[in-house]
Amino acid sequence: MDRKMESPGAGNAGARKNAKNVDAQIDDNTLLGFAARQAEICRWLGEKSTDTGCRLNQTQIDRNARKIRAKLASFKPAKASECTPLPSQKRLLELFDYDEDTGNLVARTSLGNRRAGQICGYETEKGYLKLRIDRIAYKAHRIIFKMAYGREPTGFLDHIDGNRSNNRLENLREATPWENTLNRLAPPTSNTGHMGVSWDKDTRRYYACISVGNQTVHLGSFEKLCCAVAARKHAFNIVAGAPSNDNLRAS
């Protein structure tokens, strides 16, 4: 629930003045600075940035749902690009053990520079884990999928929590290229750290949106960050048919 503000007075005026001072002191150009500034402003105003008293109402939810479904009616997602075929399931099971708790692949036997019992793989610039089999590089999460299910993934494999190195089986789901893109983490340039949510310092409001192919659906503007995030999460659920991760980039 939103905390009721007292009638305008010296106390509130002082709080607003302090909030403005904080606003001027902390750098908006960095995500860390932005988050710190928001938290401090909320503290001075007697609110919490994670307050569940969200002003996202059912009317807005229904209106956004209609807009999204109208776009989806004519949308045809692109097919996933072809990936290098994986070795057989039998071959993979001969080479590796899979640790369900950590998501790691562990070498069963020594082969080349790889030693039995060694955790396999190296991290790429994009954050994926890869390893080589017979001099061919494969993504570890695709290997794990085939070891578990005996077949190649259909399309992309999405990391549900957005962490590309978290290869626990429960964190992997088959997805279209578009769904995979929708569920990525917010880019470093985001001024909120949340995918599909931005802050406008002129209007001092948060704006939420989601893409349906090459079309953008605007989901509304909000006074609170939590409301904009909730609107985007609801939209993702309609579009992808599954919950999104927090799409929150760690500072």
Q: What is the CATH number of the domain that holds 153?
A: 3.90.75.20
Q: Report CA-CA distances (Å) from 65 to 70, 136, 207, 236.
A: 9, 45, 16, 10
Which of 219-223's residues contact partners 24+ apart within 8 Å by CB, and which partners? 219/60, 219/64, 220/56, 220/60, 220/64, 222/55, 222/56, 223/55
pLDDT at residue 176 tops 90: no
- Taking the chain, what is the end-to-end CA distance rounded to the nearest angstrom? 28
Higher pLDDT, 60 or 72: 60
pLDDT at residue 21 tops 50: no
Per-residue pLDDT band for 122 (boundaries 50, 70, 90) equals: very high
Report pLDDT digits (tens) over 205-251: 999 998 877 788 899 999 999 899 889 888 888 877 666 655 555 44
Higher pLDDT, 180 or 53: 180
The verdict on 207 and 170 lying in the same domain is: no
Q: How many domains does the chain have?
A: 3
Integer Cα distance of 162 and 185 in angstroms? 6
pLDDT of 14 reads 52
Per-residue pLDDT band for 130 (boundaries 50, 70, 90) equals: very high
Of the residues 123, 142, 175, the one at which a domain ends: 175
| Position 209 in a domain | yes
The verdict on 114 and 159 lying in the same domain is: yes
The verdict on 164 and 115 lying in the same domain is: yes
